[in-house]
Structure 1
Amino acid sequence: MDDISNRLRRLEDRQAIVDVVVRYCVAVDSRDWDLYAECFAATVRTDSGELSGTEFVEMVKGALPAFRSTQHLSTNHLVIFDESEPDVAICASDMFAQHFLEDSPGGSYYLLRARYREELLRTPEGWRISAISTTNRWEDGNLNAVTEAFERIRSATTAV
C-alpha cells in the first residue's frame, strides 16, 4: 500500500468506520432509531446469535426507552483492515456506558465499561456493522437495570 491514493483511501475508510461506531452511540443516546438503523448491515451477528439489522435495532429499542437517559462514550478505536478483503474491517473500541433508570429499587444508576469488537462491511451506502460482540470489563451500580428496563417496557406494552 505504497501509493498515495491507496493510503488516502485507507485513511478515509478508517475515519468512516470510526464515524459509524460513534454514530451508534449518538443515535442510541438520542433515541434516533433511523440513524441507529443506518449503522448496521442487513444481518448482524451478536454474542447471542444472528439477527437482521432491523431485529437488532428493535431489540435495543425494546429496553432503552425505559431509561430516563443514557450516555455511551466510545474511545480507543483500533481499526484493522483485512488486506485480502478490502471491503471488510474490524474496529475494537472501549465503551463507557452510563444509564439512568429513575425510581428503581436497585438504584437509579448503572455504569458499564466494556470492550466492543465490531466487524464492518463496505456497502453501497458506506461502512456498516455486520457483527458486534461485547466483553464487559466492569460494572457498577444497579446491575439489574437492563433487565428491569426490559420488564418496564414489556409491562407497559402488555398493559395497553
Structure 2
Amino acid sequence: MKETSDIEQRLDRVESRFAMHDLVSDYCHGFDKRDWERFCAIWWPDAIWDIGPPFGTFEGTDGIAHVTKDVLWGAWLASSHFTTNLVVSFEGDDRATGLCDVDCIGTTSDGQAQTVSATYFDTFERRDGVWKIAHRKVKMHHFNPLPGVTLSPPA
C-alpha cells in the first residue's frame, strides 16, 4: 500500500508543479494582454502583492485590482514579461514556495522604452483543490529606460 501512496504523492507533486507554472505564466499573459479575468484568477482573494519601491504593497483582490487597473496599466502602453528559472519547494501538501526571475520590456505611457529585471518570490497555497498565489514579493534589480529605442510593431 505504501507504494501506491508514494506514487499518488509523486503524481500530485508533478500536477501541482504544472499548476504553479501555469499561475506564473498566467500572470504574464494576463498582465501583458490586459486580461483582468485571467490575471485576477491567479490570486487568492486575501493575497498580498508586494511590488516594493516605487509602487508598494497591495492586499486582496481590491488592492490588486486598484494597482493593476488604475496604476500599472495606465503607466504602461505595452509590456512583455518573460519569466524563467521557476524553482518550486513544497512546504506541505497544500503549500509551496516559488522563485523565478523575470525580464520585462515595454513602453511607458510617455513613450519611453523601458527594461525591468526582477525576481519573484511566491507563496502558493492549495485551497479546496485549487492552487493560487497567496503572496508575491518582487525584488527589482533594475528599472531602466532604453534611450533612443522606440518599440513598435513591424511595418
TM bucket, shorter chain: 0.7 to 0.9
Distance in 2 between residues matched to 1:65 and 1:76, nearest whole Å: 29
Note if 1:61 corresponds to 2:64. Answer: no
Match of 2:87 among 38, 56, 78: 78
Distance in 2 between residues matched to 1:49 and 1:138, nearest whole Å: 18
1:158: which partner in 2? none
Note if 1:101 corresponds to 2:105. Answer: no
| Structure 1 length-normalised TM | 0.77
Match of 1:137 among 119, 127, 141: 141
The alpha-carbon deviation at position 109 of structure 1 amounts to: 1.0
Note if 1:126 corresponds to 2:130. Answer: yes
Which of 12-21 and 43-52 deviates more?
A: 43-52
| Structure 2 length-normalised TM | 0.79
Tell me the number of residue pairs that the alignment of Structure 1 and Structure 2 aligns: 137
2:115: which partner in 1? 111
Query: Could you say what the CA RMSD is over the residues aligned between the two structures, in angstroms?
Result: 2.0
What letter corresponds to residue 34 of structure 2 in structure 1? R
The alpha-carbon deviation at position 31 of structure 1 amounts to: 0.4
For the residue of structure 2 that corresponds to 1:86, the secondary structure is coil
Distance in 2 between residues matched to 1:22 and 1:35, nearest whole Å: 10
Runs of 4 or more consecutive aligned structure 1 residues displaced over 4 Å after TM superposition: none
1:77-97 per-position Cα deviation (integer Å, ceiling 9, x unaligned)? 000100xx3111111100111
- Percent same amino acid at aligned positions? 24
Structure 1 residues without counterparts, runs of 5 or longer: 143-160
